[in-house]
A and B are shown apart, each in its own frame.
Chain A
Amino acid sequence: MATVRALVLRAPGTNCDVETAYALEQAGADVERRHVFALREQPEQLDRFQLLVIPGGFSYGDDIAAGKVFALELSRYLKDAVLRLHARGGLILGICNGFQVLVKAGLLPDPDTGAGRVTLSFNDSGRFEDRWVWLQVRAGNSPFLAGLDRLHLPVAHAEGRFTVRTAEDLTQILQDGSRGLLRYSAPPGVSADGVPYPWNPNGSEGDVAGLADRTGRILGLMPHPERHVLDHHHPRWTRSDPDRGPLGSGRRIFENAVRWLRAG
């Protein structure tokens, strides 16, 4: 079986790198955790990997704006290497702070249109919140999301409000059916008008919790799939409610990525 090599890139203040590496290992990847200071010395090191993951945390303390300083660093020192990885069919995943970094570095929504179309801004609640959300998945062409319909994952952030510059940007993202998309939704079996707080935990426009680029091979999302890879991560694993959804469903994003890369 072909080895899938994944790099978990950390910066000062990254703090979800260990469990993200664990989730990738469980999915069958060969994982290295590496500091951005080391990688920026030798960006070509990235060429040995097929999957780049920027995990959650508070890179540079979220000082100025979440993910901003790491994004500047990425753009300045690693952009070419990252684009090479993308161009040769590699996968890029940003979770929470990693999503903020990808957006602020202009890799999402699309690397060729640059930064400034969308951002992740302060939660409408005005504070950091850790809570579980339901996500409606539109897989589009994204290998990460293939075969997924619903996910139950936790969010834990203060700056996750998906915010667009213009209404057209939002419409485009929502209506392009081939673009992978994760949207906050009502819990299963509940019918409601719209997706009010706390189902949409931060006031995200279009209820967007995550999205892929046009190729589907860059995915960023605010919720934490690596926090729902074991059965007992599920907040209701001690119950048997019919509507609680499958246990450990976050693993499927990592398994999808590894399986797709393995298939070449």
Chain B
Amino acid sequence: MTTWVIEVSLQPRLHDAERARVRETAAELHLAMPEPVRFCRLYVIAGNLSERDARRAAEELLADPVADVYKLRPLDRHTEPDPTCAYVLYHPGVMDPVALTCLDALQEMGLAVEAVRTGRAYRFEQPVADRLRRTVAYRVLANDAIEQVHWGRLPAEVFQEAAPYEFRLVTVPLRDADEQQLLRVSRDGMLALDLDEMKAIQAYYRQLGREPTDIELETLAQTWSEHCSHKTLKGPVDYVEYGPDGRPHRTRRFDTLLGETVFRATQELRRRWGQQHDWCVKVFADNAGIVRFDGDWNLCFKVETHNHPSAIEPYGGASTGVGGVIRDILGCGLGAKPIANTDVFCVGDLTLAPERLPAGVLHPRRVLKGVVAGVRDYGNRMGIPTVNGAILSEPEYLGNPLVYCGCLGLIPAGKEHKAPQAGDLIVTVGGRTGRDGIHGATFSSVELHSESAEFSGGAVQIGNPITEKKMLDVLLAARDRGLFHAITDCGAGGFSSAVGEMAEGLGAEVWLERAPLKYAGLSYTEIWISESQERMVLAVPEESWPELERLCRAEGVEATVIGRFLASGKLVLKYGDQVVGELDLEFLHKGCPRKLRRAEFRLPAGAADRRLPPPGATSARSLSEVLLELLADWSICSKEWVIRQYDHEVQGGSVVKPLVGRVQDGPSDAAVLRPVPESPAGVALACGINPRYGRVDPYRMTLCAIDEAVRNCVAVGADPERIALLDNFCWGNTNRPEQLGSLVRAALACYDGALAYGTPFISGKDSLNNEFRGELDGQPVQLVIPPTILISAVGIVPDVARCVTMDLKEPGNLLVLIGRTRAELGQSALARLLGWDGGDVPTVDLTEGPAAARVVSRLIGSGAVRACHDISEGGILVALAEMALAGRLGVTVRLPGDEELVRELEADNATAEQLRLGWLCSETPSRYLLEVPERSLATVEEAAAAGGISYRLLGQVTDRPRVVVEDAAGKIVLDVGIERIKAAWQAPLDW
């Protein structure tokens, strides 16, 4: 057996992007690192191979004859180390998709290859100094959560044989343990179970008269974990609300928090509509919420978070987040086809000086680049367009960024019901099981700290999208042939939660030794709780198994029987002939003690006399400069650098793209797809999120997010009567009453908002414990994220031909403002720009908000609207600039008179400058800007009057590409050219 090393690099005349990335990253970190001169893709190939064989491998497969050069050498332990070179290899056991492809292809070529590893090699102009090596290795070249850097030469043992597994049944003495011992068992085993839960388990085994096995304890821990059971939000809560005066003025006991807020709103709406008009199909009961699209098709929608893995390994965390939510859709009902992805990222201060980074924390720029690349590589390879999202940057996300991944699916009507039958085979399909991702569910249920990267080693994973794509293709075909009774994804908890969940109300026997493994050495417990990616579990009737197996084999997908569903009420786990675990399903699913939690919230005092920024707040800046600086705010600036890296048009259903306008650089409010070419109907996807408001009041934040998600859908042509919502709560540690209290406020807003807008919540997810503890300059640092709710919306567009985009279309048309403007500048983009902490956070008027949406929708439906844009961060001023920029046209706007501004803003003593700035930059929700031809003005008037909504003729579209604002007397107070607007808006993320 010989081992060959092949290093492939681009021809020197071609642009080497990886080398450029290395240079750029070092510069960002202010590292005085020697110049990188060459980057090589590294292949290490072992087998019975002559030099000629190895050369064939290089020339026919690994190196492109035109673009690449390669070097070949045997791996030799006596090679002199080359101090200018760094080799990067994955840690053993980390998924290496390229190596798998390589191995197959080389064997296909008839070469006797036995093993392949891939890696990267970097050569520098000079040796990298010893003191710099660690920094260069793990902050520039590689991530130590998944990779190892070898300086000078490759290790002699590139291939390590995994030791075979020797069976040994492990039991955990529990029956006689005292409280301290119980807690130690939980902590040492990383079970994340609290004392009450451990006691419930102890009582169960005392009753059985035996000790638990390790696999039973793990099963309980996975199933009862916050991540899998959402026990906090589904459990009872005692809530007390204190007024600004410090006295309690409201208390409420929830038997189940979500059940009495989010779920209840949907139930009440469905009752209101009656069976005949109910368009919810299946809500809060499956992997995703299902709503009707048309008579033949339904839509499934789900958004997940993957925060903790992304904090440690952004690329792997985000890509497996995407992979996971896609499997939610594929496992929804009897399987839906994923048709669109969404993603939202919240990261720390992107301009943070590298010296201000606590130990163990990745720089926000590195996090953002990593998560974008992760979503890109997984979503694009799956052939699913990524069409909507948001990026926010706030300092509190530094140690605990948020990564939301969403997926929309299409499923034939009637395929939403599933139920395993006694006697069905338990079949695992897709990827193999390895040691990766062990304890992901319990890891995500605790706080992050500076050693999380080491502590969680196994929880971080790399995905293999092609395995998932192959699986997707065969499973949809199998669904159409009716080859299985039920399907679910292997997510957190692996087989333990997938099989455990499916067996609920039935029973199952699992044969763990049959699960296909990536490598030898896994114990029965590791097989059971591994969270290896790209696996689904099916309930297959015995008679359909041969056909399913054939179908899978025909497309190179692995499918294996690992057990059988039985009407036994028990979950029996076997390894060979040995029973290694036996649990009552009733205890597993209902035995977790319900814990009453305390929640408190202190209402903030109103801003009263500080409703507008003080006079002279902007004296250092002209109004034009204010606009240009607002455009550079992270929540406002162009996201084109991100959007273009995502394939947003694959599947051929694109109607409104994320970037629109004259040269497709304007920010669309929502994306629209036409998923069924035979139908003229479309789907709009949008979101609402603003954690800045959450710092003051999560109730108002949540209503604003709902209003924004609705606005965005309506602005492109969705029917406001047919918008469904998802909630994603990301909070700090809700064991603290004030954290849970702020979450209760948000849940109450979900209830009020859903009923007012007639927008049911159909699914959701929560991620608690988003906190980070670490050290900076020897001082402890604790960072708690601001309460962050993401509202995602899916809306039906009756006819895609009626869609409108936000770019200005034609000089001479009129601009109309729909909705009232109040003095709501608290936590606004303007407030941040001025460093001003006053002002009121926006409040949604629950009558006007839905009414405004209906008015705008009616106008769009009538064909009167040429462009529509919602007003959000930065207010009217930013919305105007974006519309003009996107259309490469100008706009001239006339402000209301001072008296009118005083009346509208309720600001008696304000100066003219305060009034103008306040009115232009207020973030009052439920407002839209419309471009309408002059002849349609009467239609707008009628519709607004009929809907009880105020409107104002704001100005006119011009052919001079400038944004001009005049005061009531016609004096110009702002005049900025489109080119400057474009430059300011695009600069921050022009990476």
Query: Which A residues are closer than 8 A to B by beta carbons?
Result: 12-16, 18-19, 22-23, 35, 37-38, 56-58, 60-65, 68-69, 72-73, 76, 104, 115-119, 121-132, 154, 156, 161, 163-165, 203, 224, 226-227, 229-230, 232-233, 235-236, 238-241
Complex contacts, B659 vs chain A, CB 8 Å: 235
Between-chain CB contacts (< 8 Å), 7 pairs: A38-B554, A58-B383, A61-B97, A64-B98, A124-B17, A128-B380, A238-B803
B466 engages A12 (CB within 8 Å): yes
A116 engages B554 (CB within 8 Å): no
In the A-B complex, list the 9 residue pairs whose CB atoms are closest, starting with the nearest.
A15-B383, A126-B17, A19-B652, A63-B101, A119-B66, A121-B67, A61-B466, A116-B65, A63-B98
Which segment, of B232-240, B641-649, B904-912, faces chain A?
B641-649
Q: For the complex, what is the distance from the CA of A159 to the CA of B646, rounded to whole Å?
A: 14
In addition to A232-B801, A233-B652, 15 A-B residue pairs with Cβ atoms within 8 Å of each other are: A12-B555, A13-B470, A37-B554, A58-B466, A60-B105, A63-B101, A63-B466, A68-B64, A115-B65, A127-B645, A129-B645, A131-B644, A226-B652, A227-B652, A235-B659
Q: For the complex, what is the distance from the CA of A232 to the CA of B61, rounded to whole Å?
A: 41
CB distance from A225 to the nearest CB of B (A): 11
B677 engages A22 (CB within 8 Å): yes
CB distance from B376 to the nearest CB of A (A): 6
Q: For the complex, what is the distance from the CA of A12 to the CA of B105, rounded to whole Å?
A: 13
Q: For the complex, what is the distance from the CA of A58 to the CA of B643, rounded to whole Å?
A: 19
Which chain A residue has the least Cβ–Cβ distance from B99? A63
Q: A227 and B649 in contact (CB under 8 A), knowing A72-B61, A117-B66, A130-B644?
A: yes
B14 engages A122 (CB within 8 Å): yes
CB distance from A39 to the nearest CB of B (A): 11
Residue B807 is within 8 A (CB to CB) of chain A in the complex: yes
Residue B711 is within 8 A (CB to CB) of chain A in the complex: no
Q: For the complex, what is the distance from the CA of A73 to the CA of B21, rounded to whole Å?
A: 33
Q: A233 and B555 in contact (CB under 8 A), knowing A13-B466, A15-B382, A115-B65?
A: no
Q: A62 and B654 in contact (CB under 8 A), knowing A72-B60, A119-B65, A130-B648?
A: no
Complex contacts, A118 vs chain B, CB 8 Å: 66
Which chain A residue has the least Cβ–Cβ distance from B98? A63
Complex contacts, B649 vs chain A, CB 8 Å: 130, 154, 156, 224, 227, 233
Mask, B100-114, CB within 8 Å of A = 1, is: 011011001100000
Which chain A residue has the least Cβ–Cβ distance from B109? A72
B101 engages A64 (CB within 8 Å): yes
Complex contacts, A61 vs chain B, CB 8 Å: 97-98, 101, 381, 464-466
Count chain B CB atoms within 10 A of each CB in A38, A58, A121, A238 and give the residue with the most.
A238
Residue B622 is within 8 A (CB to CB) of chain A in the complex: no
Complex contacts, A232 vs chain B, CB 8 Å: 654-655, 674, 800-801, 803
Q: For the complex, what is the distance from the CA of A221 to the CA of B381, rounded to whole Å?
A: 19
Count chain A CB atoms within 10 A of each CB in B101, B800, B801, B804 and give the residue with the most.
B101
A239 engages B556 (CB within 8 Å): no
Mask, B365-378, CB within 8 Å of A = 1, is: 00000000000100
Return the contact of A229 from the options B60, B376, B465, B652 (Cβ within 8 A).
Answer: B652
Q: For the complex, what is the distance from the CA of A227 to the CA of B645, rounded to whole Å?
A: 17
A62 engages B381 (CB within 8 Å): yes
Residue B20 is within 8 A (CB to CB) of chain A in the complex: yes
Complex contacts, A164 vs chain B, CB 8 Å: 66
CB distance from B863 to the nearest CB of A (A): 12
Q: For the complex, what is the distance from the CA of A175 to the CA of B67, rounded to whole Å?
A: 23
A163 engages B664 (CB within 8 Å): no
B380 engages A60 (CB within 8 Å): no
Mask, B657-695, CB within 8 Å of A = 1, is: 101111010000000001001000000000000000000
Which residues in chain B, 31-81, are within 8 Å of chain A measured between CB atoms?
60-62, 64-67
Q: For the complex, what is the distance from the CA of A115 to the CA of B65, rounded to whole Å?
A: 8
B646 engages A130 (CB within 8 Å): yes
CB distance from B666 to the nearest CB of A (A): 11
Complex contacts, A58 vs chain B, CB 8 Å: 380-381, 383, 465-466, 469
Which residues in chain B, 822-836, are within 8 Å of chain A measured between CB atoms?
none
Complex contacts, A65 vs chain B, CB 8 Å: 64
Q: For the complex, what is the distance from the CA of A244 to the CA of B469, rounded to whole Å?
A: 36
Q: For the complex, what is the distance from the CA of A12 to the CA of B554, rounded to whole Å?
A: 11
Q: For the complex, what is the distance from the CA of A17 to the CA of B380, rounded to whole Å?
A: 14
A69 engages B21 (CB within 8 Å): no
Which residues in chain B, 804-824, are within 8 Å of chain A measured between CB atoms?
804-805, 807, 809-810
Q: For the complex, what is the distance from the CA of A129 to the CA of B641, rounded to whole Å?
A: 9
Count chain B CB atoms within 10 A of each CB in A22, A230, A235 and give the residue with the most.
A235
Residue B10 is within 8 A (CB to CB) of chain A in the complex: yes
A156 engages B650 (CB within 8 Å): yes
B646 engages A18 (CB within 8 Å): no
Complex contacts, B465 vs chain A, CB 8 Å: 13, 58, 61
Which chain B residue has the least Cβ–Cβ distance from A132? B664
Complex contacts, B382 vs chain A, CB 8 Å: 15
Complex contacts, A15 vs chain B, CB 8 Å: 381-383, 469, 650-651
Which residues in chain B, 1-45, are within 8 Å of chain A measured between CB atoms?
10, 14-15, 17-18, 20-21
CB distance from A183 to the nearest CB of B (A): 19
Complex contacts, A235 vs chain B, CB 8 Å: 657, 659-660, 664
Which residues in chain B, 457-512, are within 8 Å of chain A measured between CB atoms?
464-466, 469-470
Return the contact of A35 from the options B101, B555, B645, B809 (Cβ within 8 A).
Answer: B555
B66 engages A126 (CB within 8 Å): no
Return the contact of B469 from the options A12, A125, A131, A203 (Cβ within 8 A).
Answer: A12
Mask, B600-633, CB within 8 Å of A = 1, is: 0000000000000000000000000000000000
Which chain A residue has the least Cβ–Cβ distance from B659? A235
Q: For the complex, what is the distance from the CA of A233 to the CA of B656, rounded to whole Å?
A: 8
A121 engages B105 (CB within 8 Å): no
CB distance from A135 to the nearest CB of B (A): 16
Return the contact of B809 from the options A57, A73, A239 (Cβ within 8 A).
Answer: A239
Q: A12 and B66 in contact (CB under 8 A), knowing A127-B17, A233-B652?
A: no
Complex contacts, A38 vs chain B, CB 8 Å: 554
B662 engages A239 (CB within 8 Å): yes
B64 engages A13 (CB within 8 Å): no
Complex contacts, B383 vs chain A, CB 8 Å: 14-16, 57-58
Return the contact of A69 from the options B67, B105, B656 (Cβ within 8 A).
Answer: B105
Q: For the complex, what is the distance from the CA of A128 to the CA of B470, rounded to whole Å?
A: 22
A129 engages B644 (CB within 8 Å): yes
Complex contacts, A64 vs chain B, CB 8 Å: 61-62, 98, 101-102, 105
CB distance from A161 to the nearest CB of B (A): 8
CB distance from B380 to the nearest CB of A (A): 6
A13 engages B66 (CB within 8 Å): no
Complex contacts, A62 vs chain B, CB 8 Å: 381
A35 engages B554 (CB within 8 Å): yes
Which chain B residue has the least Cβ–Cβ distance from A63? B101
Q: For the complex, what is the distance from the CA of A135 to the CA of B804, rounded to whole Å?
A: 27
Q: For the complex, what is the distance from the CA of A73 to the CA of B66, rounded to whole Å?
A: 20
Which chain B residue has the least Cβ–Cβ distance from A38? B554
Q: A22 and B805 in contact (CB under 8 A), knowing A64-B61, A64-B105?
A: no
Complex contacts, B651 vs chain A, CB 8 Å: 15, 18-19
B650 engages A238 (CB within 8 Å): no
Complex contacts, B654 vs chain A, CB 8 Å: 227, 232-233
Which chain B residue has the least Cβ–Cβ distance from A169? B66
Q: A13 and B381 in contact (CB under 8 A), knowing A61-B101, A61-B465?
A: yes
Q: For the complex, what is the distance from the CA of A140 to the CA of B490, rounded to whole Å?
A: 53
CB distance from B151 to the nearest CB of A (A): 26
A121 engages B10 (CB within 8 Å): yes
Complex contacts, A13 vs chain B, CB 8 Å: 381, 465-466, 469-470
Which chain B residue has the least Cβ–Cβ distance from A125? B17
Which residues in chain B, 252-283, are within 8 Å of chain A measured between CB atoms?
none
Q: For the complex, what is the distance from the CA of A241 to the CA of B661, rounded to whole Å?
A: 10
Which chain A residue has the least Cβ–Cβ distance from B380? A128
Q: For the complex, what is the distance from the CA of A40 to the CA of B157, rounded to whole Å?
A: 38
Which chain A residue has the least Cβ–Cβ distance from B60? A72
Which chain A residue has the least Cβ–Cβ distance from B804? A238
Complex contacts, A129 vs chain B, CB 8 Å: 644-645
Complex contacts, B807 vs chain A, CB 8 Å: 238-239
